Amino acid sequence: MQPLFQNGDIVLFQGDSITDAGRYRHDPAHMGYGYAMQAASWFHASYPERDVRFLNRGISGNRITDLATRWQEDCLDLRPTWISLLIGINETWRRYDSDDPTSTHAYEETYRGLLERTQQTTLNARLILCEPFVLPVPADRESWREDLDPKIAVVRKLAREYNALYVPFDGVFAQAATQREPAFWAADGVHPSDAGHALMAQAWLRTVRAL
């Protein structure tokens, strides 16, 4: 099986802190230290003959409304041929730690708006939509499913509607948590450990047929 990325492709990772993963903002080529960096590195190591450029514009703390504000500068202006998008856990988190909820309807409408804006350009970019996730550690995270699960359903629906590739991160972590305790993969249930990021990179690479 050959990877989907071709010579000249620009692959953009977008999202929140999970994608950001400590990237250097002053260096536009820096990929951070998480799954985006690992996926890009493994791709280059496995397919050195493919001239593919990877970019990371994840920003810690972002929600879908933040992405909408910076979508032109941090996405469309970069002229990506592939857009990988992981967003949604902060919408849930802010409901429980700040009493600042984002309704499923508002999440869907804003998310859909980003995809529509992208389709209305001349980019013809392919989409890779990634499932937001949470692990049940600490124990209060279990109650977050009430808020997050409907948002996961939204991303699945949009992936179908927009003919996007889909990376089922929540399912990947649920399966992994049957092999090791959830805290091994993400100590706070949200931010992956090094092993958690590696698990994400593997799932992402399988989706683009590069693993």
**Catalytic residue positions, numbered:** 17, 188, 191
Per the CB < 8 A criterion, the answer to whether 34 and 21 are in contact is yes
> Which stretch of DSSP H or E encloses residue 106?
helix 104-119
Per the CB < 8 A criterion, the answer to whether 182 and 135 are in contact is yes
Residues 6+ apart with CB under 8 A from 122: none
Distance of alpha carbon 211 from alpha carbon 46, whole angstroms = 9
Residue 18: CB atoms within 10 A of its CB come to: 27
